[in-house]
Structure 1
């Protein structure tokens, strides 16, 4: 059975549109990797969607004076439209449809029926004034591990899970002046410690593409007993839990990733017209699927630890994800993107004003792969002009001078050079050392080399050949230029072409800021 790669980027919360921080993080990287795999003849599915079960939907709606359902409907359309505007080609885009809910409930019901979930008393902040337990986005305080300020559930700083009852000085996000107390509630949990050695063994074999921050977090988490993971919450927002012992509770949204990922695969295959679009077929242990996640660092625990534990709890029914490519925060003028403070650049707005290839190139060049990086309009204009637009247009003009003279011979030297070009780009696109930043560096270096090339008589075919190879290798990033200039975007393999027929090449339009 041939391997199919399933690429997943975690669904953003349906509490607003996508800003550049989202695009520069997991989405552009996932799209580029998927396009590269297709260009090299491999079978791939790319999936994401939106999540409406997060408590952040409720808190954002409260701040905006909207009903949560209205916010979800608006955000779902915005997210899908912005992905398309940025050229992120998604095979499966999931939402809050009944089929998704059925998949989540079916997954947790199987675990429950097999005795994998246990009823435990867990402490939560509680508001006597409202009679509500506070979890995740409803409550914030200090992380008990790294002391950073944030909401319950997951720490954006250290990546560890934060039990709501363990927050330092917890405050309600809806009413910070509301006096809180700790109160126990009986919830269903997955006893994570049972699966710690299984998770450790899995990452010892896989996860070679993990970046340092994620590797550090995983090592820290697995160095000590793993806390029980709540599968149900004593709140009303979310998917209702079907278990009588926790009547009135909902499924923890951070316990959804394994089931959501299974649904992603089925939906993606179905929309591609593939025969494997049946329930959980692509996730079965013998399915031959390679699962890869592109995700923000703060999603490490729910997708790489809790979800892997839940998959292990199925006793071999399902395969496990093999690779996780994380990113750090992408900042705006050296400060974190903030919708509430109006400190934000919306992805769709920028693509409407700036040629899409320039946006994709700059986001790739400044990708927050291992540390926080920064966006500014001035840098976008300067970097794209000097590193992309000017050298490409110079190279394209020189190719134009050779049109009408083909087919021209391509030397063995040039075919060998083309193979090295392909190798350099492949070293950036393959997962073991995946890096958008280095891919743009390779592209910049190659364009500069071509722009410096003083073409002597007899080298015209070599020059045009190497220009085409560079563009094919850059096509996963420069999607519009490649679509206009090339009959297809396949990346060459083997001995390469022996002749080339020069054709007029399109120019890139710069942006002055």
Structure 2
């Protein structure tokens, strides 16, 4: 058997042949065009995580005892302990890439050859994803368009002396991660160092009730939906709702169980009590002899977990420290920024802040909190348990991912609930992005030839660049407004305020006449 391309699609059957059919394995050749094996070579950003569990590696689902598993790879590299302590299920992309190279090196019977290409034989081909660049960008010079599959190879070649006019189409696994990723990219593009990290929260008691309804053990939904676990607060108002403060409380796990409660007046005391432990069996065991058999409140463990996640992300960037809390020490003077849903603001903005302040001036306090409201699906709450959900992988298989990112940014629930609608995605992306830019692309040469370069055009270009920049800075961070600027003549919805002083009011807000648009295009080219 000849396999072309040494990615997961071909390494998995190569491992299967090696384990199950030793004789055919000796006649199996896997060739790779590159000089090594790198998974999604252009997309290995330092803080990028996989979207699937480490158990979905090349072999574990088929043979959990295989020596080629991701777990055995970590063990062989003396990194298993660090990964387990991270208390998560999704590894960094760089770790998956290293695992693939390690597997190729461990194959004994199957041969792997590098720097080889195949042209005319029937074979199993695992060539990886193709770069899709929307047609609207076809006329741009290749040095000005970098697809994500080529990002890490080409970004270092961008001229550092040019003004930082970078349009980044970023994505993540939730609205908060999307915003955080965009801001981190902007800071890096501005030459500012960034450690961007996120973690899971699978100790929440909500996991137990969800598992009981589905007839599962808690570990199963925690593994499947780690990024959606939360509890201990009201999703409508964002205030904490400890079990002993609920009216007529009942257990969703055991409706017959007796649940103790107190009713307090809302203003009886400045802040409600915050339980450090819970008398349940799900979570991290409490290290207090006074509380045998109890576990830590998931919200209490969050601050320590965040410090560990920061340490782990820094390790992936090559910034080794011996202390897990090193980067949070106030002596380093970092700017700590939270990106989160508004229903988490109480704990992160008050409870966790109190935990930090309890150590005096030892730790840095948050510089800013960027929160978003709820994002609904067809005017109803997203619900994986009820099947009312849109999976990103399914959506981008039908719609170009750049259009999806544009729509998500444009409809981001920054200050109020907004709604995802597939019909609106198709209509808005077509009417406000694809068709206008395609029409403009067809007239670029005409407009540039008909309108001379002018100081006005250059000024307008500078205003546009400054407007983009302002929407990525924390003081006026707004994905909606950034996406709005991409629309020729502006998109529907709240209009961005001027960020560049007088004379900038109409740029990117009202429809722009063709001659003025030509001046702006000339300005952009002139300052390039």
How far did 1:309 drift? 0.2
Superposed, 1:292-441 pairs within 5 Å as: 292-399=337-444, 411-441=454-484
In structure 2, what is the Cα distance between the partners aligned to 1:394 and 1:24? 33
Which residue number in structure 1 is paired with residue 207 of structure 2? 57
Which residue number in structure 2 is paired with residue 227 of structure 1? 272
Residues 350 and 414 of structure 1: CA distance in aligned 2, closer, same or farther (over 3 Å): same
Residues 29 and 237 of structure 1: CA distance in aligned 2, closer, same or farther (over 3 Å): same
In structure 1, what is the Cα distance between the partners aligned to 2:345 and 2:266? 11
Residue deviations 1:61-105 (CA, integer Å, cap 9, x gap): 2222233223333445xx69xxxxxxxxxxxxxxxxxxxxxxxxx
How far did 1:40 drift? 2.2
Structure 2 residue 198 is matched with structure 1 residue 48: yes
In structure 2, what is the Cα distance between the partners aligned to 1:465 and 1:222? 58
Residues 239 and 160 of structure 1: CA distance in aligned 2, closer, same or farther (over 3 Å): same
How many residue pairs match? The answer is: 345
| Structure 1: unaligned runs, 5 residues or longer | 1-6, 17-21, 81-135, 138-150, 185-219, 469-496, 501-513
Residues 245 and 410 of structure 1: CA distance in aligned 2, closer, same or farther (over 3 Å): farther
Structure 2 residue 243 is matched with structure 1 residue 164: yes
Checking the alignment, whether the CA contact within 8 Å between 1:8 and 1:48 is kept in structure 2 is: no
Which residue number in structure 2 is paired with residue 154 of structure 1? 233
Tell me the SS of whatever aligns to 1:325: strand
Which residue number in structure 1 is paired with residue 327 of structure 2? 282
Which residue number in structure 1 is paired with residue 137 of structure 2? none
| Structure 2: unaligned runs, 5 residues or longer | 1-46, 52-86, 91-171, 492-506
Checking the alignment, whether the CA contact within 8 Å between 2:457 and 2:522 is kept in structure 1 is: no
How far did 1:290 drift? 0.7
In structure 1, what is the Cα distance between the partners aligned to 2:447 and 2:409? 32
In structure 2, what is the Cα distance between the partners aligned to 1:273 and 1:446? 44
Tell me the SS of whatever aligns to 1:48: coil
Checking the alignment, whether the CA contact within 8 Å between 2:459 and 2:523 is kept in structure 1 is: no
In structure 1, what is the Cα distance between the partners aligned to 2:331 and 2:267? 27
In structure 2, what is the Cα distance between the partners aligned to 1:224 and 1:43? 42
Checking the alignment, whether the CA contact within 8 Å between 1:45 and 1:269 is kept in structure 2 is: yes
How far did 1:396 drift? 2.9
Checking the alignment, whether the CA contact within 8 Å between 1:330 and 1:373 is kept in structure 2 is: yes
Which residue number in structure 2 is paired with residue 29 of structure 1? 179
Tell me the SS of whatever aligns to 1:422: helix
Structure 2 residue 112 is matched with structure 1 residue 67: no
User: Given the two structures, how large is their TM-score scaled by the length of structure 1?
Assistant: 0.60
Which residue number in structure 2 is paired with residue 242 of structure 1? 287
How far did 1:181 drift? 4.1
In structure 1, what is the Cα distance between the partners aligned to 2:242 and 2:287? 23
Residue deviations 1:101-141 (CA, integer Å, cap 9, x gap): xxxxxxxxxxxxxxxxxxxxxxxxxxxxxxxxxxx98xxxx
Tell me the SS of whatever aligns to 1:331: strand
Checking the alignment, whether the CA contact within 8 Å between 1:15 and 1:71 is kept in structure 2 is: no
Tell me the SS of whatever aligns to 1:45: coil
Checking the alignment, whether the CA contact within 8 Å between 1:292 and 1:324 is kept in structure 2 is: yes
How far did 1:357 drift? 1.0
Residues 393 and 464 of structure 1: CA distance in aligned 2, closer, same or farther (over 3 Å): farther
Checking the alignment, whether the CA contact within 8 Å between 1:58 and 1:68 is kept in structure 2 is: yes
Superposed, 1:80-229 pairs within 5 Å as: 153-176=232-255, 178-182=256-260, 224-229=269-274
Residues 316 and 392 of structure 1: CA distance in aligned 2, closer, same or farther (over 3 Å): same
In structure 1, what is the Cα distance between the partners aligned to 2:394 and 2:235? 27
How far did 1:452 drift? 5.8
Checking the alignment, whether the CA contact within 8 Å between 1:8 and 1:294 is kept in structure 2 is: no
Tell me the SS of whatever aligns to 2:272: coil
Q: CA RMSD in A?
A: 3.8
Larger Rg: 2
Residues 411 and 225 of structure 1: CA distance in aligned 2, closer, same or farther (over 3 Å): same
In structure 1, what is the Cα distance between the partners aligned to 2:286 and 2:463? 55
Residues 420 and 342 of structure 1: CA distance in aligned 2, closer, same or farther (over 3 Å): same
In structure 2, what is the Cα distance between the partners aligned to 1:332 and 1:372? 11
Tell me the SS of whatever aligns to 1:162: coil
More strand by share: 1
